[in-house]
A and B are shown apart, each in its own frame.
Chain A
Amino acid sequence: GAGVSQSPSNKVTEKGKDVELRCDPISGHTALYWYRQSLGQGLEFLIYFQGNSAPDKSGLPSDRFSAERTGGSVSTLTIQRTQQEDSAVYLCASSRDYTDTQYFGPGTRLTVL
């Protein structure tokens, strides 16, 4: 079956602009996760959704970062007023429920100029 998909695959933006990153989880997966992978910080957890609610937002680095999930499916990660330190690969994962294995998408590479 189809895996986790993310769009766009690459995004180049100017400092100060807002960006939206999209994640389509595996059909039927109720849990969805966002991670960030950067050279200096490695792989960091950002936020976790169970259904449409986010029980754990502890990894969001600042209030410029927000995420939502609608219909228990697609999720959007929004970064407002982007900064150069936001440049990273943003990975999305989904799992059948919060106890199950996480399956990752290919990521969105964000470059902030």
Chain B
Amino acid sequence: AQSVTQPDIHITVSEGASLELRCNYSYGATPYLFWYVQSPGQGLQLLLKYFSGDTLVQGIKGFEAEFKRSQSSFNLRKPSVHWSDAAEYFCAVGRRDTGTASKLTFGTGTRLQVTL
């Protein structure tokens, strides 16, 4: 079964600083990969996804992520964080072996705090 690890439970960065949130997955093949963001009291919003092709993917709000097969990682980055980016970030894996992206497996999330 697939699994996702987000090793950082809580990260604090200053506004304007760069950000990298880590995500490692365990899966027998190349999975579908996603990053979602959840603001307090809100549902999950898709930031970006990787299905195939270019391993550097661009998302909304200036985020990007890079799929590294050799490291089983899909880290999320942003060059300059804004105070409005404070939220919880979830990495997720979808299965590819059955030809579906159903049944996402989520990491435990990283809570981002932004200081002014």
Contacts and interface: CB of A to CB of B under 8 A. Distances in A.
A45 B90 CA distance: 14
A100 B46 CA distance: 12
A106 B106 contact: no
B102 interface: yes
Given A95-B101, A99-B99, A99-B101, A104 B45 contact: yes
Interface residues of B, number: 22
A91 B106 contact: no
B109 interface: yes
Instruction: Name the prevailing secondary structure of the B interface residues.
Output: loop
Interface residues of A, number: 24
A33 B90 CA distance: 17
Contact of A105 (B43, B92, B101, B105): B43
Interface string A55-83: 01011000000000000000000000000
A102 interface: yes
A107 interface: yes
Contact of B46 (A42, A56, A58, A101): A101
Contacts of B90: 43
5 contacts: A48-B102, A56-B103, A98-B101, A100-B101, A104-B43
Interface of A: 4, 31, 33, 35, 42-43, 45, 48, 56, 58-59, 91, 93, 95, 98-107
CB-based closest 3 A-B pairs = A43-B106, A104-B44, A104-B43
